[in-house]
Amino acid sequence: MENPPERGQVVVITGASAGVGRATARAFAREGARLGLIARNREALEAARREAEAAGTRALVLPADVADSKQVEAAAAAVERAFGRIDVWVNNAMVSVFSPVKEMTPEEYKRVTGVTYLGCVYGTLAALKRMLPRDSGTIVQVGSALAYRGIPLQSAYCAAKHAIQGFNDSLRAELLHDRSKVRLSMVQMPALNTPQFSWVKTRLPRKPQPVPPIFQPEVAADAIVWAARTGRREVYVGFPTVKAIVGNKMFPGLGDWYLARNGYESQQYDGPAPPDRKDNLWAPVPGDHGAHGDFDERARPFSAQLWLSMHRKAVGLAAAAVAALLMSRRARS
């Protein structure tokens, strides 16, 4: 059931310095939420804080590496001291490596798993510690179509998103068993125009890109805010996400074949990356990079599929009314 947004809600967002997290912070700020902003890049977090204040609300800058559970817990405690109870927790932080499995290192797998999967677990534990005793609150996991369908060259990231999906299913069943009113949602994303493709660690011969079609991060942010408001179990964003998830359930072998032929080329564009290019696997790339990446000209600002999903009750009622009208006309003719 959808609840109207409450001004003054306290929302914690991990990975809030750039990309989807930055767009989500802006979206919640427009609704008047007070924000706890977690990421490694203090400079970018300060810029996000200024944006929130310009929107008429408050934000707390919390530099932390979500792969460290103690840092996540300390950030949660700081939010409580500053703003009071946490109403919404969004687990969004991620890192990745574009590389064939045969060229990956154990340390890289450990790092991607630590940030993208365990960072989500640690954030969830910090949120549950505060939400369960008062039996309220919403946790939103930022997922991906790749939580269901692994693709070549992103094995560490795909594995981490698969792990979040399994973790979420287990936790949801436990919350239902305990009759908890804490709500849990996972938002499965399509390819997005975020700065990660400018700084993700890569061994590809050409520059990495999101697999087209590409959507703007504001589309993702709208879905996250809506998921927090409604508590819907799972939200698919964009028809490509629906196609990937449903297609993989029906024809996984066909997906293997298709990605073997197309999965390499679709994740690269233009020429080779600059030799002095920095990546953010172990440390943030300095500077404020905002929400958008380099693909504004190709990115879609709207998803008809998401709009229909968010308004499916109204669409269903309208369709039923049209059907009834047509049947009435036929009966009179």
Residues assigned a catalytic role: 157
Output the six-digit token pair for 42: 């203090």
Output the six-digit token pair for 200: 């993700």
Output the six-digit token pair for 78: 């700081």
What is the 8-class DSSP label of residue 99? B
CA–CA separation, 275 and 267 (whole Å): 19
Angle between helix axes 239-250 and 252-262 (nearest 10 degrees) is 120
Residue found by looking up tokens 């805010």 in the block: 225
CA–CA separation, 52 and 12 (whole Å): 13
Angle between helix axes 119-131 and 155-177 (nearest 10 degrees) is 20
Output the six-digit token pair for 242: 């629906």
CA–CA separation, 106 and 120 (whole Å): 20
Output the six-digit token pair for 152: 């070549």
Are 42 and 307 within 8 A, CB to CB?
Answer: no
Nearest to residue 112, comparing CAs of 63, 148, 161?
161
Handedness of CA 199, 301, 162, 77 (dihedral sign): positive
